[in-house]
């Protein structure tokens, strides 16, 4: 199965990280979303494109690291895609599984 997901815009309200963290957040979202989709593929039925989806608000602790924020965002996106049953969170970046 091949999945192409394009996120045109990601809004981070109340993000205390600097703009330099944007690349780290993006990388964390990509990595965690790939892990989630391979662990519990969404049921796309007959396939097709979806013009837009809105994920639920994502809350993270104040001063959250970019990697943790990215993981929370990926889990919200996976949930709105109809990903399978709950999947344990990935270990924090830089820590062994």
User: In this predicted structure, what is the pLDDT of residue 55?
Assistant: 75
What ranges in the chain are assigned the alpha helix state H? 22-39, 66-80
Q: Which two tokens stand for residue 4?
A: 């192409």
Burial code of 23-32, b = ≥16 C-beta within 10 A, e = fewer? ebbeebbebb
Q: Tokens in use for 62?
A: 């104040």
pLDDT for res 97: 47
Contact 87, 36 (CB under 8 A): yes
Tell me the mean pLDDT per 10 residues along the chain, length 97: 76 74 87 89 71 76 80 88 60 52
Q: What pLDDT was estimated at residue 32?
A: 93
Both structure tokens of 89: 């969170």
């Amino acid at each position: 199965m091949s999945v192409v997901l394009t996120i045109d815009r990601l809004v981070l309200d109340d993000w205390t990280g600097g703009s330099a963290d944007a690349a780290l957040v993006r990388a964390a979202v990509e990595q965690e979303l790939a892990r989630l989709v391979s662990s519990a593929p969404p049921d796309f039925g007959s396939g097709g494109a979806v013009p837009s989806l809105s994920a639920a608000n994502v809350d993270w602790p104040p001063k959250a690291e970019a990697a943790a924020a990215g993981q929370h965002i990926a889990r919200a996106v996976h949930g709105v895609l109809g990903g399978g049953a709950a999947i344990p969170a990935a270990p924090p970046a830089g820590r062994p599984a």
